[in-house]
Amino acid sequence: MSNSQMSRTQPRAYPSPHVIVVKPSTTHTHTLILLHDRGATAQEFGAHALHPTTSSGKTKPQIFTGMKFVFPSATPRPSTSLAGFPIMQWFDNVSLFDPTEKEQLQLEGLRETAQMVHRIIDAEAKAVGAENVLLGGLSQGCAAALFALLTYRPADGAGTRLGGFLGMSGWLPLRSKIGASAKGLAEKSGKGVSDALVSAVARKLVGMPAGEGKPPRLGGTPIYLGHEKEDETVDVELARQAAKALSALGLDVTLKTYRGDGMENDDMVKFMGKNCGCLSRPKRR
């Protein structure tokens, strides 16, 4: 991808200077924020994420001409699994086979990443409306983005939903703790699990303030999770566990598993068009 197609934002626009933006070829109607995998960068992931074509022979920017693509880059963090050597990662996790191992090491990174993503969402929502902003990521980027989704509180306090979530080969961080805490508090109150409760529980687990205004309508945000059945890095069972946990919290989840036949790109594009309204113009606000 050429330098003219991928450009860095000014530090004033987003909290990190390492953000790659691919501008829409027509009027800006939607924004997709995608987080890269552990050990990668925004530049590398951006080129990889936009290159695959669908069976029609078109790429996502060619199909969604009004979409702006935003690729943040993680900062170097010491990796416990690599004896403290710093690598590009959204949060420190000891094992991809068992993401629950030493979960306390994940908290700082999850909090800081979520806060950064929230600021980007707020900036894009001002341009096209929160309902036209999509979030997603690959592997650890998917995990971090899912946590950012659960903890997002709109800056304007309007409580609207995001346009959608697109996750690939990921998992849900702190899955058991979020589920158990939300269920326990819901049973105690007798009011059931609500978006506000899920948001408050997830935020409290990583030391984020409760936040003001209404949380987004999590149940109204369509979530797509794609995963290869034979993934040797992140077991597909983690995606199944994430989908089950999110559904139990009242979220709208579509899980697709693949055998590496290339159909995942077609399915994701169909989901973006049908479930997220990415082929339509946003409503006037």
Distance CA 35, CA 137 (A): 4
pLDDT score, position 226: 95
Which CA distances in Å does 135 have to 55, 58, 151? 24, 21, 13
pLDDT score, position 9: 36
Distance CA 84, CA 25 (A): 43
Q: Return all residues near 184 (Cβ < 8 A) that are at least 6 apart.
A: none
Distance CA 283, CA 285 (A): 6
Quote the distance between the C-alpha of residue 203 and its chain's center: 16
Distance CA 41, CA 43 (A): 5
pLDDT score, position 165: 98
pLDDT score, position 213: 66
Count of positions (residues) in the chain: 285
The single residue listed with the structure tokens 């399915």 is: 267
pLDDT averaged over 10-residue windows placed end to end, the chain, 285 residues: 42 55 94 95 85 84 94 92 91 88 94 94 93 96 97 78 95 96 92 90 92 76 94 93 96 91 82 87 48
SS3 category, 93: coil
